[in-house]
A and B are shown apart, each in its own frame.
Chain A
Amino acid sequence: MAPVLEVSGLSTVFHTRRGLVRAVQDVSFTVNAGETLAIVGESGCGKTITALSLLRLVPMPPGEITSGSVKVDGTDLLKLSDSEMREMRGSKIAMIFQEPMTALNPLLTVGKQIQEMVVLHDKCSQEVARKRAVEMLHHVRIPEPERRSREYPHQLSGGMRQRAMIAMALACRPKVLVADEPTTALDVTIQAQILDLIGDLQREFGTAVVLITHDLGVVAETAKRVCVMYAGRKVEEAPVEEIFGRPLHPYMQGLMNSIPRVGSARGLDVAPDERLQEISGIVPPLNDLPPGCAFEPRCTRADARCKTQRPELAMKAPDHIAACWQA
C-alpha cells in the first residue's frame, strides 16, 4: 500500500535574537491510510513544530521550513503556493488542537463553524453544508446533534468541544489528520472516549493519523508505529509492540522507566525504597546543541564517542531504527 503521508528530511528553524533555533531537523516518516503514527517526546523536543510544519502553519517569520518534503497522496505540500496550500488544509490534511476550550470561536455556533468550512472546500450551498455539519456532529456521537449544532462553544463541555473539533477536522474527509495532544486537556474517562472515537472514525474513513503526544499510555492504546523525538530529531522508530517490548534508545528506555506502575513504590510487594526513575537533566537548548549525540549529557551509557560524533539513524533490528552508538 502506498503511504498517504510521506515526510522526508523535514527541517524547520526559527530565526531568533539568540541565534538559529533548529526546532525540527531532518525528520522523516510515512503513514499509510487508516494507520496511526505516534510521535512522542517531552516538551520542547519539536513534536508540535513538526505537526505545524506538516500544515505549513509555522509562523513565518520567525520560522522557516528549510528543507524536506511533505507529500500527501504524492503532492508535495511544501512546493504549493499559499492559496493552493489553503485548499489542501481541511480538505486533504486537517488538524485538531490541544485546547478544545479556546480552539472554537466563542461567537459562532458550533454548527456554523463546521458549516463554514464545508462551504469553503466543497463549494456547496449553506443548506447542504448545514446538514453535513449536523451529520458530522452525529458521527462524533454528540447527542441531539440538531440542537447542539445551534449552540455556542461555551454551552458544551470540554469533551464535547473536542468532539466538535474532530467533527470539523473530518467534515471534508481529509486523507491525513494531525492530532496535537488531542486529549491532554481532558480528564481521563473522556480521554479514552475521544481516543476510541478517533480510532473508529479513522477506520470508517481510512484516515491516516499523526498523533502527537507525550502520554505513552495513549500511544500503546492507539498507535501502530511510534516515532520518538529528542531535541528536534527522530531518534527511534518502530512498530508499537516492538518499541514497548524492546526500546533501544536510552532516551526511550528512560521514558518507559519513568512511567509509574500501579503497585510500585507504595504497593505492598515492592520494596519501600524503590522510587520512580527519572531522566536526570533537561533538554539542551535548541540553539546550542552539543556536537555529539544530543542526549549524551543525560545518558547513563554515554562514552567518549557519544560526546564528539552524532549517531545517525540505523537499522538495529528488523523494522526498528534508532540513532545511538550504544544500541
Chain B
Amino acid sequence: MSTTVSQDRPTKPSFFNEVFYLARRYPLGVAGAIIMTTFVLCALFANFVAPLDPFSTNARASLARPSETHLLGADMMGRDVLSRIIHGARISLAVAVGATIMGSGLGAALGLASGYLGGWFDLIIQRVSEVMQSLPLLVMALVITASLGPSLRNTIIAIAIPLVPTVARVIRSNVLSLREMPFVEAAKATGMSEFRIAVVHVLPNTLAPLIVLATAQLGSTILTEASLSFLGLGVPEPYPSWGRMLSESAAEYVRTAPWLVIFPGLAISLVVFGSNLMGDALRDALDPRQRD
C-alpha cells in the first residue's frame, strides 16, 4: 500500500471502479448478489432455462428418482422437479419481493409518521399494531386471503399486511431517537418544513435497520406463502410455487421420495441466504461512514 499522499487524487471514481472496489470489499455481498441474480434470471427466462414442461404429467415418471431425464427427480404426477423449481421461482420471488417491499414501505411510512408526529396519531398507530401483532401472522394472512380470494396479487397483500406493524415499530423507535438529534434542530433552524425534515433527514437514517429487517423478512414471506398454498389459499394451481411443492409433499413423501422435499427446501434456503448476504453488504455500502 502506498503511503504517499497524493494531492490530485481522483475526486469521483468511475462507476466500474466503484463497483469493483465494493465487490472486493464485500465478497460475501457479491456471493449473495450472484445467488439472487441467478434466481431472478431463472425466473425471468424460465421458459428457456427449464429442461422440461413443468405442467405436463407423466404417469410412468411418477415419483421418479433423480436421473438424467429428471435431474432432481419427478413428483407424484411425474412432473419434473427442476423445471417446477425454475418456474416456481417466478411466483415465489414475486410474492417474497412484492410482499416485503409493500410491507416494509407501508411500515416505514407509518413508523416514520408515528414516531415523528407523536401525540394521538402515534397512540392510535401503536395500539392498532399491538392488536395486529397479538394475532398469529398466519391467521391474519388466512383471514385476508379468504376474504380477498386466492390470486397472486391477493397473496402478496395478505402476506404484506402482517409485516407492517413489525416494521412500523422498529422504524418508530429509531425515529424517536433520531428526532432529538441536533441535525434535526439545525434543519429546523434553516427553515425546513417538518415534512421535509422527516423525509430528507430522518428517514434515510433509518435505512440500515430497514434493510436488515426487510432481508430477514424475505425468507419468512416465502414460508408464509407456502403455508397459504398448503391450505389452498395461496397462488392457485397449476402454477408451481416452492412453498406448495414443499408442503404438498412434506407429509406424504418425505421418506419415499425425499427429493420432493429437499430440493424446493434448498431453493428457499438459498434465496433467504442470498438475500441476507446481499442485505448486509448493502447496508454497509449505503452508509457513508463505512466507506472512504
Contact = CB atoms under 8 A, between A and B. Distances in A.
B182 A99 contact: yes
A57 B189 contact: yes
A95 B191 contact: no
Interface string A84-114: 0011111100110101001111111000000
Contacts of B186: 95, 97, 103-104, 165, 168
B181 interface: yes
A95 B188 CA distance: 10
B205 A120 contact: no
A55 interface: yes
Contact of A147 (B11, B182, B185, B190): B11
Interface residues of A, number: 33
B282 interface: no
B190 A154 contact: no
Contacts of A106: 183, 205, 288-289
A117 B191 contact: yes
A121 B191 contact: yes
Contacts, number: 76
A113 B142 CA distance: 47
B191 A91 contact: yes
A154 B201 contact: no
Contacts of B191: 86-91, 117, 120-121
A89 B189 contact: yes
B187 A102 contact: no
A198 to B, nearest CB: 16
Interface residues of B, number: 23
A86 B195 CA distance: 12
A262 B27 CA distance: 58
A226 to B, nearest CB: 24
Interface string A32-64: 000000000000000000000001010000000
A150 interface: yes
A75 B183 CA distance: 27
B124 interface: no
A29 interface: no
Given A99-B182, A107-B204, A154 B289 contact: yes
Contacts of B185: 57, 97, 103
A91 B288 CA distance: 29
B123 interface: no
A106 B12 CA distance: 19
A107 B186 CA distance: 15
A325 interface: no
Contact of B288 (A103, A107, A165, A168): A107
Nearest to A150: B11
B190 A120 contact: yes
Contacts of B205: 105-107
A106 B289 CA distance: 8
A150 B10 CA distance: 12
Contacts of B266: none
Contacts of B189: 55, 57, 89-90, 94-95, 97, 169
A52 to B, nearest CB: 9
Interface in A107-136: 107-108, 116-117, 120-121
B116 to A, nearest CB: 14
Contact of A117 (B11, B190, B287): B190
A108 B182 CA distance: 15
A147 B192 CA distance: 26
A152 interface: yes
Interface string B267-289: 00000000000000000000111
A165 B188 CA distance: 13
A72 to B, nearest CB: 13
Interface string B195-207: 0000011001101
Nearest to B203: A107
B288 A105 contact: no
A86 B289 contact: no
Contact of B201 (A86, A102, A105, A165): A105
Contacts of B201: 105, 108
Contact of A94 (B12, B190, B192, B288): B190
In this complex, which of B182, B186, B201, B204 has the most chain A Cβ atoms within 10 angstroms of its Cβ? B186
A105 B181 CA distance: 9
Contacts of A104: 183, 186
B289 A105 contact: no
B165 to A, nearest CB: 26
Contacts of A91: 191
Nearest to A87: B191
B67 interface: no
Interface in A158-194: 165, 168-169
Contacts of B4: none
B2 interface: no
In this complex, which of B189, B204, B205 has the most chain A Cβ atoms within 10 angstroms of its Cβ? B189
B35 to A, nearest CB: 28
A138 B215 CA distance: 43
Contacts of A152: 288-289
A116 B11 contact: no
B182 A97 contact: yes
Contacts of A97: 182, 185-186, 189
6 contacts: A83-B193, A97-B185, A103-B182, A107-B204, A107-B287, A108-B204
Interface of A: 55, 57, 83, 86-91, 94-95, 97, 99, 102-108, 116-117, 120-121, 146-147, 150, 152, 154-155, 165, 168-169
Given A55-B189, A155-B292, 9 more contacts: A57-B185, A88-B191, A97-B185, A105-B183, A105-B205, A106-B183, A106-B289, A117-B192, A169-B190
